[in-house]
Structure 1
Amino acid sequence: MNQVDYLRISLIDRCNFNCQYCMPEGAEIDYILKQNLLTDEELLTLIREIFIPVGFRRFRLTGGEPLLRPNVVKLVSQIAQLPETEDLAMTTNGFLLADLAEDLYQAGLRRINISLDSLEPATFDRIAGKAGRSRWPQVWAGIQAAHRVGFDPLKLNVVVIPGVNDGEVLDLAALTIERQWHVRFIEFMPIGNGDLFDGCGWVPSAQLRQQICDRWGLVESRVTGAGPADIFQIPGAKGTLGFISQMSECFCDRCNRMRLSADGWLRPCLLNEAGQIDLKAALRSGVPLAELREKVRQLLGLKPEINFKQRESGTAAGIYTRTMSQIGG
């Protein structure tokens, strides 16, 4: 078991997309009321007084869509300036990034993951679930802006959905040949989308690797990541290819992270809430910080026993009923 030193922080549960694999069309979402979100001050207190003292040094800001959070650039700066912060990253859908990339970089953000599930605007918009004006051009502009200001690594996340975008795997992989970009293929998970998942399932990473290998060849990359991705490279390519295989190749024994939801719940696993702690309620009720630190230490001790494969299901079919945006990225 790796040292657990990586915290994914959801800044907001709302999103300006309704992606099929995250917030399926027609899903009834009970959004967190503004007064129930962690304030900036509360979040910074938890980072400084709880998470850093128990060993967290790396932080990733997620959502929902984190760029919807008011004053997000200032918050990024405050976290980046903490002397104990060794790494600060963000995952975004990129829609608002073109106007914010420079400010975020100047605030101290250096690593960014952007969702790019298709290079075809029509397919992209189908997955994103928003009618009207196409969103693909603005997301692509955000990716170009992030590249231009110097984000490195710049990672592109692709959730592979059979029958929807699995035919674009080679085109997406080709983005890494001439650019120092890192494309990561993610197996489709059953999170709040039981009907869609039951209808199409997922494409195993091994199948994607073989497809790419048959076209160009594939070698293990010297570039390694801190997360669950297995990293490969097309021979001679500037960038890399990552494969996150949570369905076909359980990586729970390598997990080094916990998740803090936008309303202050600390969870040890994406799909297993055993042992979760309501830090916001404890903070607002005046529980001593030393007591909260001890509770978090105890949960860290339980982490090896809490994993994806042992998750408690909300349905008999084994499909998790909450959406990804509610869980927190």
Structure 2
Amino acid sequence: MNPVVDYLRISLIDRCNFQCQYCMPEGAELEYIRKQEVLTDAELLTLLREVFIPCGFSRFRLTGGEPLLRPQVVSLVQQIAALPETQDLSMTTNGFLLADLAQGLYDAGLRRINISLDSLEPEVFNRIIGNRGRTRWQQVWSGIQAAHRVGFDPLKLNVVVIPGVNDHEVLDLAALTIDRHWHVRFIEFMPIGNGNLFGDKGWIDSETLRQQIHQRWGLVEARVRGNGPADVFQIPGAKGTLGFISQMSECFCDRCNRMRLSADGWLRPCLLNETGQIDLKTALRSGVSTRELCAQVQVLLDLKPAINFKQRESGTVGTYTRTMSQIGG
């Protein structure tokens, strides 16, 4: 039985103040979306109220690029949170601007947040985010502390494990969950955004990471299950949990309950497959009725069970042309 697709990941902006190795091609100059091509707040809210919510969507995650670079982002969060049909609103951020915005976002109605933290070592962190100047690790750590202080729960830390780069920190990162009610999620490295790095480094499967942690502390399945693709475990007696997102080793396409809306209004059914994607922005600006747009979205929803990234890997269907930062993760 196919899951109910009620979860929309919304990219607010394709720009980012980091250039993470696993997200953008190293040294590449990306062609960013022109400002006038980005969905306005009013257009996005119209799509939510008159297209997505009538099609059954009630859970929304705001992503980027880096969503905190979006002008007036706190106001937009407040307006989405205020929609009567919004059952869950969350955000994924790199945390660099979060220290100053955490309280405002929480007051606006945001309650769940995911923050990328791929290393606890400033030099390694700098290497991963593509920063050759002053380290940004402390600013991100301050953002995490601010999010914890104002009450975000759950507070999730996303870790993309890259062999030979940060895999030696798996136990240190897992240990963050012992005394804190935090949720660390280890994500298998994918060949999107920087295929050359993937080819050089490869990836480490989640089972290998679980075995490392189990050998150190033991590991049990968590009683609280996640809403997304993560398999959730816990160090015995720990306050927080450990999630493992295993899109490379353990395909979870049959559990996928989400679609993705890019900053310029393209709706796609799969992270790594553009089959059937719809240009909602152009249609909306051309005067197509929201009733017709809703009908188009429903067609894509009906197609979604047959569209997945494993098919793309085998060459039987679809393609993708954007990097992770341009898609919204």
The TM-score bracket by the shorter chain reads: over 0.9
How much does 1:323 deviate?
1.3
Answering whether residue 231 of structure 2 is matched by residue 230 of structure 1, we say yes
Answering whether residue 175 of structure 2 is matched by residue 174 of structure 1, we say yes
2:263 is matched with which residue?
Answer: 262
1:206 is matched with which residue?
Answer: 207
1:285 is matched with which residue?
Answer: 286
How much does 1:255 deviate?
0.3
2:22 is matched with which residue?
Answer: 21
| SS of aligned partner of 2:209 | helix
1:243 is matched with which residue?
Answer: 244
User: Contact (CA 8 Å) 2:62, 2:92: kept in 1 or not?
Assistant: yes
How much does 1:313 deviate?
8.7
2:326 is matched with which residue?
Answer: 326
Amino-acid identity (%): 81
Counterpart code for 2:254: D
1:124 is matched with which residue?
Answer: 125
Note closer, same or farther for the CA distance 1:155–1:320 as it changes in structure 2 (3 Å cut): same
Cα RMSD of the aligned pairs, angstroms, is 1.3
| SS of aligned partner of 2:178 | helix
State the TM-score, normalizing by the size of structure 2: 0.97
Note closer, same or farther for the CA distance 1:319–1:185 as it changes in structure 2 (3 Å cut): farther
Note closer, same or farther for the CA distance 1:152–1:43 as it changes in structure 2 (3 Å cut): same
Q: Distance in 2 between matches of 1:39 and 1:102?
A: 24
How much does 1:322 deviate?
2.8
How much does 1:320 deviate?
5.7
Q: Distance in 1 between matches of 2:170 and 2:319?
A: 26
User: Contact (CA 8 Å) 1:192, 1:320: kept in 2 or not?
Assistant: no
Q: Distance in 1 between matches of 2:25 and 2:297?
A: 33
Note closer, same or farther for the CA distance 1:199–1:213 as it changes in structure 2 (3 Å cut): same
| SS of aligned partner of 1:156 | strand
User: Contact (CA 8 Å) 2:26, 2:194: kept in 1 or not?
Assistant: no
How much does 1:25 deviate?
2.2
User: Contact (CA 8 Å) 1:160, 1:202: kept in 2 or not?
Assistant: yes
Counterpart code for 1:2: P
Q: Distance in 2 between matches of 1:128 and 1:60?
A: 22
User: Contact (CA 8 Å) 1:272, 1:312: kept in 2 or not?
Assistant: no
How much does 1:123 deviate?
0.2
How much does 1:2 deviate?
1.0
How much does 1:87 deviate?
0.1
State the TM-score, normalizing by the size of structure 1: 0.97
How much does 1:312 deviate?
6.7
* 1:204-225 deviations in Å (ceiling 9; x for gaps): 0000000000000000001111
| SS of aligned partner of 2:105 | helix
Structure-to-structure mapping, 1:72-87, within 5 angstroms: 72-87=73-88
Q: Distance in 2 between matches of 1:32 and 1:191?
A: 19
Structure-to-structure mapping, 1:1-329, within 5 angstroms: 1-311=2-312, 322-329=322-329
* 1:74-128 deviations in Å (ceiling 9; x for gaps): 0000000000000000000000000000000000000000000000000001000
Q: Work out the number of aligned pairs and report it.
A: 326
Name segments (4+ residues, structure 1) moved above 6 Å: none
